[in-house]
Amino acid sequence: MDDEGLLEAFFAVSRRLRQRTREALEPWELTPSLGRAISVLSRHGDLRPSELAEHLRIAPRSATEVVDDLQGAGLAERHPDPADRRAVLVTLTGEGERVSRDIQAARRAAGERFFATLSPDDRDELGRLLRRLREDAD
């Protein structure tokens, strides 16, 4: 396969995977960006909005909107940073933690279905190649 065909195949798979991610998040009526934010907060714990923005690779003002949406849904809350009272930390609520666990389970199931056609060796090889591409991109 030439580079153009490889790129086209990669984008087609990427679109299909994004669609499945959106479908997996439908029960919670969350956008993929909110799902990612919940995942980041679950993995890293309390974060300042600027740190959340860095993890999500978005502008800090966009992180404010994400936090507003999470807070409006009762999934996250802001509270003063004990190390710097001028700063704010974002943390998941109990409901946010429950939703995070449910989303992780739904994503795992969606991933298993998505990659089901690949043999274990093919999955290992794909994982190796994707890690290499991700490392080269960073």
What is the per-residue pLDDT across 90-127, written as a single tens digit (0 to 9) for each?
999 999 999 999 999 988 888 888 899 999 999 999 99
Three-class SS state of 89: strand
Give the pLDDT of residue 136: 83
Tokens representing 101?
Answer: 């666990």
Residue 38 has pLDDT above 80, yes or no: yes
Query: What are the start-end ranges of the H helices in the chain?
Result: 3-25, 32-44, 49-56, 60-72, 94-114, 120-137
Q: What is the residue whose two structure tokens read 């190390």?
A: 83
Select the CATH number that applies to the domain covering 3-137 from these four: 1.20.140.10, 3.30.360.10, 1.10.3720.10, 1.10.10.10. 1.10.10.10
Residue 81 has pLDDT above 90, yes or no: yes
Give the pLDDT of residue 73: 95
- Range 29-62 burial, b when 16+ CB lie within 10 A, else e: ebeeebbbbbbbbbeeebbbbebbbebbebeeee
Report the range of poorest mean pLDDT among 11-15, 21-25, 33-37.
21-25
> How far, in Å, CA of 34 to CA of 70, rounded?
7
The chain-wide mean pLDDT, for the chain, equals 92
> How far, in Å, CA of 23 to CA of 44, rounded?
25
